[in-house]
Amino acid sequence: MHQVFQRPFAIFFASYALGAGYGAALSGGTIASDAFAAAAFCILMALLAFWLIFAQHGTPLKREILAAIGVAAPLGILSATAVLGTAETYFWVYDSNTAHVPMAKDLMAIVSGKIPTEHWSVSKFVRTGGITHLFVGTWFALFGASAVVSSLAMTALKFGTIWILSAIGLDLSDDVFNHRSSEKVGTNGNLAFVPYAVVPTVTFHTLAFYKEAMVHLLVAVALYAIFKARKSLNLRWAILFGMALCGLAVERFYVAALLSPLFLLPLIQTERPKRVRYLIALGCLLIMALVLAPFQDVSWSKALETIQELRLRHSKYPGVSVVYNYEISYPIAVLKTLFTPIWAPNKLEMFRGASALFTWGSFIHQAVMLLYIAGVYRAVKTRGWQHLYMQLPFLLFVLAAAYIAPWSARTRDSFYPLISIYAFLAIDWLIANCSIGMRSRSSEQKDAAPHKG
């Protein structure tokens, strides 16, 4: 029986069944049923995460299998809502219907040859997050335009993100823990995707037709290129990093701008010849220039004016409380940016259906954020400023978002690939210490046994 529970298929099936059960429970339609279903889903997802972590202890699984397990619950949710005909209700939300679905359908028509390409301008493509729309539009052209198809496309992107995070986790754990023989990790770094896969708010954002799944994938690719370049500075990692930044410039430009300074890290610490470093630095600077080109005419006064306008605009969004978001002190706003969404009774009415995951998933997200902070502390303590520098894009984002929109979890979650790998680093360290403690106590008991006789 113990071996059965260690089999990856058992974990995949349990995750899929949990997702299907939650998707079916959404048809209840009442506040109480939504709350109960979301709370149960969140608790069981956390338990499944622990199951996966301990089941893989000592028996590392292939990355493809781990990625399949990571998307099992979303696939279960999607299967149930597809059968019940409720997928469009839950996964084509307001932003989907007003922005993303029309654009994807236009691109579907172009891809399928129904309308000429002249009807679509490059500037419109770049301005509206066109990579996500082109990707989903291609799926629409192949399988038809529906919420089920768009959610499947999002899940495919999430599969890729999880696969990449698993690869990054191996490099990160090896760098932080295994550079000294005195410390060994307790599990496997390829489980670094677990926080990303288990957080219910991310689950919703990567099932609904938003840009989030594509943004997460591109952020993960950028981080992967940086971690690889730290080990071996090679032109292909600079090209990969540049491609990720260009994609992010289309999807969410400020994330591209914030991530761009990370290329300095492998350049500073590498032992490659100076000529090679200078060439790669020049290439990266050219990429940065392309990414930041739209801001060439922006002055400091205009930038401050834009920030004020963004703050005012976001404060007028429906359902946003000015008192609890814009009349609080700045340090509290920073904390709120990190830990939002925050559970409150009035949100049971505000977030219905699948979006109830925001309310009850808040506890899991907050636990992950605490683990992220602990993981960063551990990495910095062990390996120094390098890992602190890796947090610079997220830190700058938090400082800006705390002023503009401290309530916006979705934009903050653009950095969830980074949050996930460092959060799992803390989990890895905790399990390693528990394992060392248990082995020490066992050895002491064995040593003491002969003396008792």
4 pLDDT above the threshold of 50? no
Q: What are phi and psi of 163, to 5 degrees?
A: -60, -45
Query: 447 vs 188, which has greater pLDDT?
Result: 188
Task: List the structure tokens of 371.
Answer: 């683990």
pLDDT at 109: 85
Mean pLDDT of the chain: 84
Q: Is it the case that residue 2 has pLDDT exceeding 50?
A: no
- Residue tagged 């528990």 (tokens): 434
Amino acid in position 335:
L
Q: pLDDT band at 383, cuts 50/70/90?
A: confident
Structure tokens at 160: 């890729």
For a pLDDT cut of 90, what percent of the chain falls above it? 48
Tokens of 149: 């198809």
H and E: helices and strands count for the chain: 28, 0
Q: Return the pLDDT at 290.
A: 66
Lowest mean pLDDT among 114-118, 188-192, 336-340, 420-424: 114-118
pLDDT of amino acid 181: 43
Q: Quick check: helix, strand or coil at residue 281? A: helix
Structure tokens at 210: 């938003």
DSSP state, residue 115 = S
For residue 354, what is the DSSP state? G
Confidence of residue 80 (pLDDT cuts 50, 70, 90): very high
The residue ranking higher by pLDDT, 147 or 430, is: 147
Mean pLDDT on 356-384:
92
**Average pLDDT value for residue range 81-92:** 94
Return d(Cα 262, Cα 264) in angstroms, integer. 5
pLDDT value at 443 more than 80: no
Q: Cα dihedral sign for 29, 39, 198, 3? A: negative
Tens of pLDDT, residue by residue over 269-300, are 655 566 666 666 676 667 666 666 665 565 66
Q: pLDDT value at position 129?
A: 72
Output the pTM of the full model. Answer: 0.88
Q: At residue 73, does pLDDT exceed 60? A: yes
Predicted confidence at residue 376, as pLDDT, reads 95
In tens, the pLDDT along 131-178 reads 999 999 999 999 999 999 999 999 999 999 999 999 999 888 877 776
Model confidence at 377, in pLDDT bands (50, 70, 90)? very high
Integer Cα distance of 368 and 197 in angstroms? 11
Q: What is the pLDDT of residue 68?
A: 92
Mark out the alpha helices in 199-252 (DSSP H runs): 200-205, 212-231, 235-251
Mean pLDDT of the 338-360 span = 87
pLDDT tens digits, one per residue of 22-55 = 999 988 778 888 999 999 999 999 999 988 887 7
